[in-house]
Amino acid sequence: MQSSKKIKHLLSTFVVVLVFSTNLNAQSNVSFAVGGGVMFYNGDLSEKGFLPKTELLNLYYGGDISLLLVDRTDLSFRYMRGKVEGDDRISNENDNLARNQHFFSNIDELSALLRFRFFSVKDKRRFNPYGMFGLGYFWFRPKAELNGVVYELQPLGTEGQFIEGGDYEKPYKLTSSSLTFGAGVFMRLNDNFSLRLEAAPQLTFTDYLDDTSTIYPDSTALAATPKGELAVLFSSRRPKGFPDSGRRRGNPDRDDVIVTVGLSIVYTPGSRKSGPNSKPGIFSQIFTGRKGWWGMTPN
């Protein structure tokens, strides 16, 4: 409930900022996009290869508004919703099969992204590649199924988070920031519409997307926690009994990664000025008439 309220508040703020921004130059420097694609994760419940099995690919959708700052560089504000999951039960690796864990989690993210085009926005070429970098903040909530019932994993403390005393980790937060690095290409359809194809790994600052990071706790102490019976069942799904305390359950040295590959349709109202002295971008409009690289040189 708290996460939903936070998301609604952030989205409301987001809309106000965007409406204000569109007044700067709705005819050329603002564009809108909606789209979706495939999302997956790489973490403790992944196999050694980067790409997962097709069963672990999920759809995501989102929308953004972009402000052209200067020629070839725009700033996008994006909302994205998707899902990630991992499942040892379909692994080809013996260690993963023996561990026998699984999880899934919805992802809700707000982010700010900078895209750097190779060519000018005034150039009417069909394809315009770009690189991108961004910062995001997202909400997640790992869950798993047992006997047909779905349970949230964080409140259970499967790695001993609710065991009093000892050196166990504290309960992890269900939010995290992220860094996005990616690349893509704009495919021009006409003056107002284009397609945007991009692939973007997101480096998160959490190792608990999958509720797995460190070691197996002491099973007796775990059973004594508030939700101990369920915690023990989800901490170890190994068929040969609960492992010794301290045995590695995950890899705490690597945070989890989210990857998206998607296609969006982009709409730019009006058309950008294409005169020899025109300078695309909201900075150019703000500083028009002032001498410098950002605006028009006065007569």
The pLDDT of residue 288 is 53
- Quote the CA–CA distance of 139 and 150 in Å, as a whole number: 19
Instruction: Quote the tokens at residue 255.
Output: 């945070």
Alpha-helical runs (H) found in the chain = 2-22, 94-99, 219-223, 228-235, 282-286
The pLDDT of residue 293 is 46
> Side chain identity at 61, as an amino acid letter?
Y
- Quote the CA–CA distance of 155 and 138 in Å, as a whole number: 19
- Quote the CA–CA distance of 183 and 1 in Å, as a whole number: 35
Over the chain (299 residues), the average pLDDT of each successive run of 10 is: 54 50 56 97 89 94 95 95 96 91 97 96 91 98 96 97 89 97 96 95 97 96 95 93 93 95 93 56 56 47
Q: Where are the beta strands (DSSP E) in 156-248?
A: 175-188, 193-204
Q: Name the one residue in this structure whose structure tokens are 């005034």.
A: 122
The pLDDT of residue 100 is 93
The pLDDT of residue 165 is 83
The pLDDT of residue 241 is 87
Architecture of domain 2-286: Beta Barrel (2.40)
User: Could you tell me the residue ranges of all domains in the chain?
Assistant: 2-286
